[in-house]
């Protein structure tokens, strides 16, 4: 399975594209949406309720519920594959925020449940259990909300790292889709029992636009755009070439590909309509710059999907989502570049090497492989070395045991392998832990953090 | 693939089942006449309150404030609807010569506040009858309902030109 995106929180080493104002917008936008919600709560009498204990607990319970709902929508939006967000931040960082905001929203939701139950029970002089039962059984939309909450609990619990590691990615991802169900099912109780919804027309307007906008963006970006691009470009398998043991290049053809906004270094989520298992999407990077009617991806065949890919027949149609990823020429800030790849991670860098402009001697590729036969694209890399002056260096050998990014027995610093690397842009692609080791080595060699470009991939 | 189909079918069945429950499609609780509160009004003096059950979702048209009936010494006056954040409160007062004999609630908020109303209204009414005025202490936990009740009652008494007789 090549280049799988891990939805994990991590500090990405890369900065945004220079001189873009986008990254500065998101934080204030998030903060102001929370501020709007708090203001609406306060102007709806939220502070008024703080006078007595029971009413105060209820009032704070409402506030936690409202902020939780607001954050819930925000974190859905962050992972909605909105092209402008993807380009500005990259999926790995968005996934990190999605995770943090999601857990915050979940915590507030739990607080909301407890506070509302306690507040109502105090006011009405009922026991907590009795009150909880009354709420679920008799209040409008509350059974739906309870089921929605269960869905959100399922999603959150399976995303706690220990649980996440025990699940196959596909199972986890399917379970994660229950979040949409959860968000949808908790909506009615907000509309029907929420004092803040019922009271002010402005509040109603805000929440309806927030929910409507969010649903619209998700439908457009996660279903509409992929469906439109799939139908418009009609990408299908042209032929499959074995590159190395277990590694295959899939050559694809399609229509009007020059109008598909994809660049070297990016990936699509691929579904090949070749029989059972088609419903699972696989993230594969382009391994050559996109042509007007041609694309190429290169895939390491392990896992069910990988094996199926090896046997693809010409003419098999592909459903695409994307392009995603920001490991592109846009990120370049320096004249000289160093690419550091491991295994099948060479694919996006190989494509980038062809697309990027540079003079002879300005580009270097360090290519880490376990054994000689595993080296991919040797002819193409030799060709790039001859025609473009790329300096290619193969780092072949067994994995080091000390967590080094170099083969066992090597101990060179990065600036010994690539003199002057501190002035370079460094693009890295490979397994996750390995990329972290490379990023450390690059920082030790004096490369500025905003010149280290990697996206969070894992095999 | 088979497991996914099972999951999908199970999920769909679950959702359909949940939506058959009455609270899942009942819509918002609009301000309803406080049927839960004890009332002593009879049909002739209470034209704006057509037998709402606890599940009534349609609000009765708000009775207009002002004098409703005057027969001999008995005067029935509606107060105005006074808003809380959960919905309006409106009372009707019945005055027999110089005595407040009854205060009934024509409308009160629904939702959570319906239960608050059930809790607060009997105590508010008792205070009004005892003090023979709108000088009523706020029922704790139902501040807004109490205050709106008081305002509506005071306005009704003003309309009736009712003064506390010492």
The predicted complex's ipTM stands at: 0.70
A335, A383: one domain: yes
Q: What is the DSSP string of A143-205?
A: HHHHHHHHHHHHHHHHHSHHHHHHS-HHHHHHHHTHHHHHHHHHHHHHHHH-HHHHH-HHHHH
Say yes or no: A131 and A246 in one domain.
no
pLDDT at A318: 94
Rounded distance, CA B129 to CA B99, Å?
Answer: 9
CB pairs under 8 A between A and B: 80
Among A53, A117, A139, A182, pick the best mutation site for testing chain B contact (most B Cβ within 10 A): A139
Regarding whether A252 and A188 lie in a shared domain, the answer is: no
A388 shares its domain with A312: no
User: A53 and A196, same structural domain?
Assistant: yes
Query: Are residue A123 and residue A252 in the same domain, yes or no?
Result: no
Same domain? For A177 and A295 the reply is no
- Domain CATH for A399: 3.40.50.80
Does residue A115 sit in the same domain as residue A154?
yes
Q: For A105-109, B9-13, B65-69, B76-80, which range has the lowest pLDDT when averaged over its residues?
A: B65-69
Which of A188, A207, A229 is the endpoint of a domain?
Answer: A229
**What's phi and psi for A291, nearest 5 deg?**
-100, 175
State the smallest CA–CA distance between residue B135 and chain A in angstroms. Answer: 21
For chain B, which domains are there? 32-159 (3.90.1010)
Q: Is residue A3 in some structural domain?
A: no
* Cβ contacts of A52 on chain B, cutoff 8 Å: 140-141, 143
Tell whether A33 and A157 lie within a shared domain.
Answer: yes
- From the list A458, A394, A398, the residue with the least C-alpha distance to A432 is A458
> Does residue B108 carry a pLDDT above 50?
yes
Q: A302 and A339 share a domain? A: no
More confident residue, B37 or A349: A349
Helix then strand then coil, % of chain A, to nearest 5: 55, 15, 30
Q: CA end-to-end span of chain B, whole Å?
A: 84
- Domain edge (last residue) among A204, A229, A254: A229
Tens digits of pLDDT across chain A (459 residues): 333 333 332 333 333 343 456 667 888 888 899 999 999 888 876 776 676 787 788 889 989 999 999 999 999 999 999 988 888 888 888 889 999 999 999 999 999 999 999 988 887 777 899 889 888 987 778 999 999 999 999 999 999 988 888 888 878 888 999 999 999 999 888 887 766 565 677 888 888 899 999 999 999 999 999 999 999 999 999 999 989 888 999 999 999 998 999 999 999 999 999 877 777 888 899 999 998 899 999 998 876 666 677 788 999 999 999 898 888 888 899 999 999 999 999 999 999 999 999 999 999 999 999 999 999 999 999 999 999 999 999 999 998 888 889 998 888 889 889 999 999 999 999 988 899 999 999 999 999 999 999 876 543
- Residue A257, domain CATH: 2.40.30.10
Residue whose C-alpha is closest to residue B56's, from B33, B39, B25, B81: B33
Domain that residue A368 falls in: 329-454
Residue A336 lies in a domain: yes
Q: How far is B142 from chain A (nearest CA, A)?
A: 8
Of A229, A248, A270, the one marking the end of a domain is A229
Number of domains composing chain A: 3
For residues A225 and A250, membership in a common domain is answered with no
Contact yes or no for B19 and A144 at CB 8 A: yes
Judge if A221 and A87 occupy the same domain.
yes
CB contact under 8 A, B29 and A147: no
Compute the distance between CA of residue A337 and CA of residue A425 in angstroms, rounded to an integer: 5
């Amino acid at each position: 399975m090549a280049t799988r995106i891990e939805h994990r929180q991590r500090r990405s080493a890369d900065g945004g594209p220079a001189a873009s104002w986008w990254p500065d917008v998101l934080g204030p936008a998030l903060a102001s949406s929370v501020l709007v919600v708090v203001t609406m709560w306060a102007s709806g009498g939220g502070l008024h309720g703080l006078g007595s204990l029971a009413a105060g607990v209820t009032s704070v319970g409402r506030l936690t519920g409202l902020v939780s709902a607001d954050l819930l929508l925000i974190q859905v939006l962050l992972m909605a594959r909105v092209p402008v967000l993807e380009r500005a931040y990259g999926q790995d960082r968005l996934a990190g925020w999605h995770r943090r905001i999601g857990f915050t929203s979940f915590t507030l939701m739990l607080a909301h449940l407890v506070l509302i139950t306690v507040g109502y029970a105090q006011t009405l002089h009922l026991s907590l259990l009795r009150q909880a039962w009354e709420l679920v059984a008799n209040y409008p939309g509350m059974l739906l909300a309870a089921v929605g909450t269960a869905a959100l609990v399922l999603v959150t619990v399976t995303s706690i790292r220990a649980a996440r590691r025990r699940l196959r990615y596909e199972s986890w991802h399917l379970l994660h889709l229950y979040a949409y169900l959860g968000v949808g099912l908790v909506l009615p109780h907000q509309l029907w029992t929420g004092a803040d919804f019922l009271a002010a027309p402005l509040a109603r307007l805000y929440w309806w636009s927030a929910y409507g906008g969010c649903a619209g963006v998700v439908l457009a970006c996660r279903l509409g755009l992929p469906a439109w691009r799939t139908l418009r470009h009609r990408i299908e398998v042209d032929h499959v070439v074995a590159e190395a043991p277990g590694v295959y290049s899939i050559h694809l053809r399609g229509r009007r590909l020059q109008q598909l906004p994809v660049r070297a270094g990016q990936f699509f989520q691929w579904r090949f309509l070749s029989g059972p298992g088609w419903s699972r999407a696989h993230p594969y990077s382009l391994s050559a710059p996109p042509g007007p009617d041609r694309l190429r991806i290169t895939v390491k065949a392990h896992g069910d999907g990988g094996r199926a890919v090896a046997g693809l027949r010409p003419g098999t149609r592909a459903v695409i989502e994307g392009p995603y990823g920001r490991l592109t020429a846009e990120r370049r800030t320096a004249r000289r570049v160093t690419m550091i790849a491991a295994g099948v991670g060479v694919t996006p860098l190989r494509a980038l090497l062809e697309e990027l402009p540079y003079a002879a001697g300005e580009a270097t590729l360090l290519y880490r492989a376990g054994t000689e036969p595993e080296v991919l694209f040797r002819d193409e890399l030799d060709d790039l070395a001859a025609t473009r002056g790329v300096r290619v260096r193969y780092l072949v050998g067994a994995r080091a045991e000390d967590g080094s990014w170099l083969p066992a027995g090597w101990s060179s610093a990065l600036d010994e392998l690539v003199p002057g690397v501190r002035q370079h842009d460094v693009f890295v692609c490979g397994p996750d832990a390995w990329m972290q080791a490379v990023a450390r080595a690059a920082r030790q060699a004096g490369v500025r953090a905003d010149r280290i470009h990697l996206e969070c991939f894992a095999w | 693939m088979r497991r996914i189909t099972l999951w999908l079918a199970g999920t769909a069945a679950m959702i359909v089942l949940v939506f058959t429950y009455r609270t899942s499609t009942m819509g918002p609780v609009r301000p309803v006449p406080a049927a839960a509160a004890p009332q002593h009004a009879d049909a002739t003096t209470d034209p704006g309150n057509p037998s709402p059950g606890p599940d009534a979702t349609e609000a009765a048209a708000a009775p207009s404030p002002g004098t409703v009936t005057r027969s001999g010494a008995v005067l029935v006056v509606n107060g105005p609807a006074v808003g809380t954040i959960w919905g309006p409160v409106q009372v009707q007062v019945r005055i027999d010569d110089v005595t407040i004999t009854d205060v009934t609630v024509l409308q009160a908020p629904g939702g959570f506040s319906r239960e608050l109303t059930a809790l607060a209204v009997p105590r508010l009414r008792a205070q009004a009858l005892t003090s023979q005025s709108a000088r009523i202490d706020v029922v704790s936990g139902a501040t807004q309902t109490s205050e709106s009740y008081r305002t509506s009652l005071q306005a009704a008494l003003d309309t009736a030109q009712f003064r506390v007789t010492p």
